[in-house]
Amino acid sequence: MAANEVDVFAHEEKRNLELGGHVGFDSLPDQLVSKSVAQGFCFNILCVGETGIGKSTLMNTLFNTTFENEEASHYQSEVQLRPQTYDLQESNVNLKLTVVHTVGFGDQINKGQSYKPILDYIDAQFERYLEEELKIKRALFNCHDTRIHICLYFIAPTGHSLKSLDLVTMKKLDSKVNIIPVIAKADTVSKSELDKLKIKIMSELVSNGVQIYQFPTEDEAVAEINTSMNTHLPFAVVGSVEDVQVGNKMVKARLYPWGSVQVENENHCDFVKLREMLLRVNMEDLREQTHARHYELYRRCKLEEMGFKDTGPDSQSFSLQETYEAKRKEFLVDLQRKEEEMRQMFVNKVKETEAELKDKEKELHERFEQLKRMHQEEKKNLEEKRRELEEEMNAFNRRKVAAETLMGQALQGCSQPFKKDKDKKN
C-alpha cells in the first residue's frame, strides 16, 4: 500500500484570511469546555509531611468537607501512602478528587529511605498511564487519570529552616511532580519570624537546586496575580474545620485564649492564597504541567531504558512500525539464538558422554584382551609342562623297556650258568 507515496499537492504558505462575516467557530472553546465538563475532571493531590502536621485538617478546610481519615500513629515501620478518592460537585462541575497522604513520614529513626515509597507511588501512576497508552487497544479518554498533579509539602514551623529530610525528599521529587511547599501550623510562628523563615526556606531551596512549582505568568489574564503570589511562597497555612463566632459572623478559626486565628483572614495566614492558587486559578495548569512535562520526562526515560530510539545510527528517524519491527526481529533472533544455544549444549553433552562411555568400553576391551593374553600365557605354560612330563614319561618308559630287555638277557645269561651249575651238580 503506497500510504506514504500519496501525490499530495500542498499550498506551502499558511495564509491568513479575513472573514466576511460571523462564521461561528468562536464557539469552539465552549464546545471543548462543555465536553470536558460532561466528562468530568480528575485531580490528584499528594500531601507529604510528618505525622500530625495538619495535612488532613488542611484538606478538609480547603474543600469545605470532612474527608474520612483515621489518625495515624507514630509507629509505622515505614512510610505508606494511602490514596482516597472522592466525587465532588460544584455548580455543574464534577471533580474526581484523589487525596494521597503519606502515613508515617518522618517517624522512623532512620529516615534514609523515607522518600522511596513516595517516589515509587508517583512512578507507579505514571507507569499505569504509560501502560494504557502503549496498549494496542486502548481507551485513554475513559481512563481514570491517577497521576499526581500537585504535591503539597508540609514544612514544620519549628526551627529556623528546612530539615535535611525536607531537602532530600523535595530534591528527589522535584523532577517528578509539581511541588508547592507550605509552612504548616503557621499560627505558632509570629509575623517577623515568619518572614525570616520564608526567606530562609526559599534561599535554601534555591541553593540546593530544588525546583518547586512556579505559578505561570505567560497568560495575561492571570499573570499579575500569579507573579505576586510567587513572591509569597512558601504559603504559611492554618487549617480548621471548626466554626468560631467572630464579630457577628461564623468563621473557620482556631480559638486560643489570646484570640482566634481566622483561617480565611489574609492577615492571619496564607490559606486564602493557597486556595486561590491551587483551586481557582491554576488547577488546569497543574494538570497540564503534569502531563506535558513530568509525565513526558518519565515516558522518555522509560522508553529509552527499553531501548527505543527516535533516530537510527545514520540519524534517519524511525517510524513506529520500523521501531517495533526492529525490536521484534531482535527479539525473534534472540529467541532463536537461545534455542540454538540449548541445542548446542545438548549436542556437546551427548558427545562428551559418548566419548566417556567409549573410553570405558575401550578400557574394558583392553582388560579383556589383557586377561586373554594372560590366559594364553598360562595355557602355554601348562602345555609346556605337559610336554615336559610327556617327554620324561617317554624317557622313563624307554629306560624301563631297555632295562627290562637287559634284565631279560642278563637273566637268561645268568640262568644258564646256573643251569650249568645245576647240571654240574647234578
Q: Which is nearer to other proteins, 163 or 299 (CB)?
A: 299
Which is nearer to other proteins, 199 or 371 (by Cβ)? 371
235, 198 Cβ separation under 8 angstroms: no
Q: Measured from the CB of residue 219, what is the shortest distance to other proteins in angstroms? A: 6
Of 178, 226, 282, 289, the residue at the interface with other proteins (CB under 8 A) is 282
**Which region among 32-40, 111-119, 150-158, 254-262 touches other proteins (by CB under 8 A)?**
32-40
Other CB atoms within 10 Å distance of the CB of residue 218: 8
Q: Strands 179-183, 235-236: parallel, antiparallel or unpaired by DSSP?
A: parallel
The yes or no reply on residue 123 touching other proteins (CB under 8 A) is no
Residues 200-229 that bind other proteins (CB under 8 A): 219, 221-222
Which of positions 296-355 make contact with other proteins (CB under 8 A)?
Answer: 296, 299-300, 303-304, 306, 308-310, 319-321, 323-325, 327-328, 331, 335, 338-339, 342, 346, 349-350, 353
The one among 73, 74, 78, 131 contacting other proteins by CB under 8 A:
131
CB 67 within 8 A of CB 98: no
Quote the strand ranges of 27-74, DSSP E: 41-48
Does position 160 bind other proteins by CB under 8 A? no
Instruction: Tell me: does residue 409 bind other proteins (CB under 8 A).
Output: no
Select 68 or 71, whichever has its Cβ closest to other proteins: 68
Cell of 230: 510567587
Q: Is 89 in the site for other proteins (CB under 8 A)?
A: yes
Report in angstroms how near the CB of residue 191 gets to other proteins at its nearest: 26
For position 373 contacting other proteins by CB under 8 A, the verdict is: no
Axis crossing angle, helix 164-173 with helix 115-134, rounded to the nearest 10: 10
Task: Give me the sheet containing 259-262, strands edge to edge.
Answer: 243-246, 249-256, 259-262
Q: What is the DSSP string of 134-195?
A: HSSS--GGGS------EEEEEEPSSSSS--HHHHHHHHHHTTTS-EEEEESSGGGS-HHHHH
Rule CB under 8 A: choose which of 64, 175, 227, 409 binds other proteins. 64
